[in-house]
Amino acid sequence: MITLTLVAILGALLVIVLMQLAKKSEEPNAKGSPPRAPAADLANLKITDARVGDMISVSGAGDDLSDLDFTADRCAWFEAGPRRWFELSGAYRERRVALRVATGEDVEAAVHTDPRKLTIEDLGVSEDDLAQMDERQNTADFFEFDGKTWLYRLSREAQARRSDEAEIAKFYYWEFQEQGGKGLLAIRKAEGEPFTVTLATTIYPGDVTVYRGARA
């Protein structure tokens, strides 16, 4: 009789232990933190999975319509109001190139491969022109450069955080879209520094292949 009672007690304790283990496995992995995200499928990495150390291949975006292949050694994350994007950059044929990925409802991608060091004077616009566009916030504004028409898209205060720098950089940002084309032109102005101009070309996100590498 005593043996049966002990067996019953031990059985009840075993059930309680199993229930506690099952409950614990459903809890977050740390107090106040969400469950860990599932591991990425390394054989089918998406453009939004790309990170420093990865090898990036963009179909037909290189010189002479070759593939643009580079290893990302730097990343910067940008915020301009509600807009978010990141840029992965690396060396390609003795110059630096970058892949820009804007996240949101729709993923937008662009590559910067143009080696020119442009100024706003090269664009034919002045600081006052940019200030007026910013004040109007009118997407009908435009200017002509390089035989193309560049339509105003947005301008606002922005900030960037780079993977190789601790401090957050703040600057003012203007963005223009090539009319009827794939060009994307960005102008940045940090306090006390000159304007910088970047030319990129929008691409189809599916043309980008990401190969997982070691983190830099």
pLDDT digits (tens, 9 = 90+) for 6-39: 445 545 555 454 556 555 544 444 444 444 545 6
Q: Round to whole Å and give the CA distance between 99 and 70.
A: 10
22: left (phi over 0), alpha (psi -120 to 50) or beta: alpha
Q: For residue 74, give the DSSP letter.
A: E
How would residue 43 be classed by pLDDT, with cut points 50, 70 and 90? confident
**Residue 26 pLDDT:** 47
What is the per-residue pLDDT across 105-144, written as a single tens digit (0 to 9) for each?
Answer: 889 999 999 999 999 999 999 999 999 999 999 999 999 9
Q: What is the DSSP string of 104-166?
A: SSS-EEEEE-------HHHHT--HHHHHHHHHHT-TT-EEEETTEEEEEEEEEEEEEEETT-S
**Residue 19 pLDDT:** 57
pTM of the model: 0.77
**Residue 32 pLDDT:** 43
Q: Where are the domains of the chain?
A: 1-37, 42-211
Percent of the chain residues topping a pLDDT of 90: 72
**Residue 137 pLDDT:** 96
